[in-house]
Amino acid sequence: MERIQAVSSNKRRQLLSWVTMGVAVSLLAGCATPPPKKQDNLCSIFRENPSWYDDAVDMQEEWGTPINVAMAFVKQESSFRHDARPPKDYLLGFIPWGHVSSAYGYAQAQDPAWQDFQKATGHGGSRTNFDDSLMFIGWYTNETRRQLGLSLWDPYNQYLAYHEGRGGYKRKTYNSKPSLIKVARKVEKQAKDYGWQLKQCRQELEDNRSWFF
């Protein structure tokens, strides 16, 4: 009888442990910032998520990358989804075999590039955090400026280097990818639109920001 009670008690503890873990996971998921409702309007994005504007300002001050350029990258890469991943890969066409790349998070940073970022900056962080992802984009584009001479205000070529890697950009691998060229032009236009929009609401965002500093 005592043994049965002990087993029953162990099962209850195990069940409680699983329930607690499930609740914790649910709470963490609930804390994740949902994607902005109006992703084509930078003012709307920052009004919906004021802390993102602070993160963007910090990124520009640290690396020099324009806010509108970095935000256009995030929109294209993840549509502002914190847990975005590339499509799954399949073996023989039907057996799940991981993802087509290790890209993850807001910036779709791949494992090697993220590790380089951490080593170069001493920055820990997470690819699912918006501020860390923006800092990654700022660092990467600044390194591209330093290594390849591409202006931080040139979203078209910066995006090609971001997508293909700096080595791929130097080899002009993008020339054989017309669909990528179209995407880079799309990012360029989005960055220009974001830049114009930001001019319209910059003072408002700064005024709201001053309340917290």
The amino acid that residue 105 corresponds to is G
**CA proximity to 159, closest of 140, 177, 176, 146:** 140
Where is 145: in which H helix or E strand?
helix 130-148
- pLDDT confidence of residue 11: 52
Asked whether the beta carbons of 198 and 69 are under 8 A apart, the reply is no
Q: What does the alpha-carbon distance between residue 166 and residue 123 come to, in Å, rounded to a whole number? A: 22
pLDDT in tens, the chain (213 residues): 544 454 455 555 554 555 454 444 444 444 578 999 999 999 999 999 999 999 999 999 999 999 999 999 999 999 999 998 765 443 334 444 343 478 989 999 999 999 999 999 998 899 999 999 999 999 999 999 999 999 999 999 999 999 999 999 999 999 999 999 999 999 999 999 999 999 999 999 999 886 655
- pLDDT confidence of residue 31: 55
CATH 1.20.1300.10 is held by the domain 35-210 = no
Domain-wise residue ranges, the chain: 1-31, 35-210
Measured between its terminal Cα atoms, the distance across the chain in Å is 65
Q: What does the alpha-carbon distance between residue 37 and residue 63 come to, in Å, rounded to a whole number? A: 28
- pLDDT confidence of residue 19: 44
Prediction pTM value: 0.80
pLDDT in tens, 65-96: 999 999 999 999 999 999 987 654 433 344 44
